[in-house]
Structure 1
Amino acid sequence: MPTKARGLHISLPIAHRMSSMLFYRDAFGFELVGEPTEDGVPEPLMFRIDQRTLLALIPADGLGWVLGDTRELAPAGTSECLMGLEVATKQEVTDLVERIRSSGGKVLAGPEHKPWGYTALCADPDGHVWEIDVESPPEH
């Protein structure tokens, strides 16, 4: 029987709650979930990406605690996964890349045309890599 997911939660380790909150709010415009605590950041720090997807940003020591003694977090600067965000137009790719840059992220590559579409690679302040793209229409 196939798994019928009710939702998807993506958890990424972070160094600073406030700077991560500001980056994902300002660069991507994701919807913040929950009421702010005394430091102005919701606990847990989560963003709604769409109706079924949540992005949780967890301090690295807290995520290490969840993983337990049998797994270690990847060293800083190492990518274990590539987050992808598809947008509708080339202009949206370009605009999002500029918001990422101005919000403290790094542009690693692009925007440029690749065989699979118009794409760019960017990193958040903690080095998590995002591929921003618009899919190329199929050739006939």
Structure 2
Amino acid sequence: MNPSVPVTFALPTADRRTSFLFYGDGLGLDPIGEPAEDGVPEPLQFALNDGVRIMLIPTGGFGWITGDHEVAPRGHSECVISVSAGDESGVDEMVRRAEAAGGTVVTPPGRRPWGYAGAFADPDGHIWMISA
């Protein structure tokens, strides 16, 4: 594995425009690529940092990658994406922004046995834990 190549996490999405607005305008992530005819980059990717990207693939097209494995229905998660916000106020702000952009707070920010954290689900139900 070449550590200089970005790692990309692919998630299924029901609506490209909703995801584009949630992650871009709502969370403030930088989209990668030139907009397609619908104004949304194709493929729809965002940089989490210099080495990690998230790619949102329409649910129908996700099957081209997963073969005979079913895509989990909305509200069923097979993984939790965890990101550090640096400090408690960063956790509070990211969870607040996610909720304001149409996400759902899964666990409100607060003290946990492992530190300060909160979690939200994006419009497709993918869970993100933000920690300090």
TM-score after normalising by structure 2: 0.94
8 Å contact kept, 1:30–1:48 = yes
8 Å contact kept, 1:47–1:56 = yes
Q: How many residues align?
A: 131
8 Å contact kept, 1:32–1:46 = yes
Q: Tell me if 1:51 matches 2:47.
A: no
8 Å contact kept, 2:44–2:55 = yes
Please report how far the alpha carbon of residue 51 of structure 1 lies from its aligned counterpart in structure 2 after TM superposition. 1.2
Give deviations 1:72-102, integer Å, cap 9, x for gaps.
1112211000001101111111111111111
| Partners of 1:19 and 1:114 in 2: CA distance | 31
Q: Report the AA paired with residue 106 of structure 1.
A: T
Please report how far the alpha carbon of residue 4 of structure 1 lies from its aligned counterpart in structure 2 after TM superposition. 3.4
**Which residue of the other structure, out of 114, 125, 130, is the alignment partner of 2:128?**
130
Q: Which runs of 5+ in 1 are unaligned?
A: 135-140
Please report how far the alpha carbon of residue 62 of structure 1 lies from its aligned counterpart in structure 2 after TM superposition. 0.3
Q: 1:80 is paired with a residue of what secondary structure?
A: coil
Q: Report the AA paired with residue 13 of structure 2.
A: I
**Which residue of the other structure, out of 100, 107, 110, is the alignment partner of 2:98?**
100
Q: Report the AA paired with residue 21 of structure 1.
A: F
Q: Which runs of 5+ in 2 are unaligned?
A: none
8 Å contact kept, 1:32–1:48 = yes
Give deviations 1:6-30, integer Å, cap 9, x for gaps.
2211000000000100000123211
| Partners of 2:49 and 2:30 in 1: CA distance | 9
| Partners of 2:9 and 2:83 in 1: CA distance | 13
8 Å contact kept, 1:26–1:99 = no
| Partners of 1:91 and 1:51 in 2: CA distance | 23
TM-score after normalising by structure 1: 0.89
8 Å contact kept, 1:10–1:54 = yes
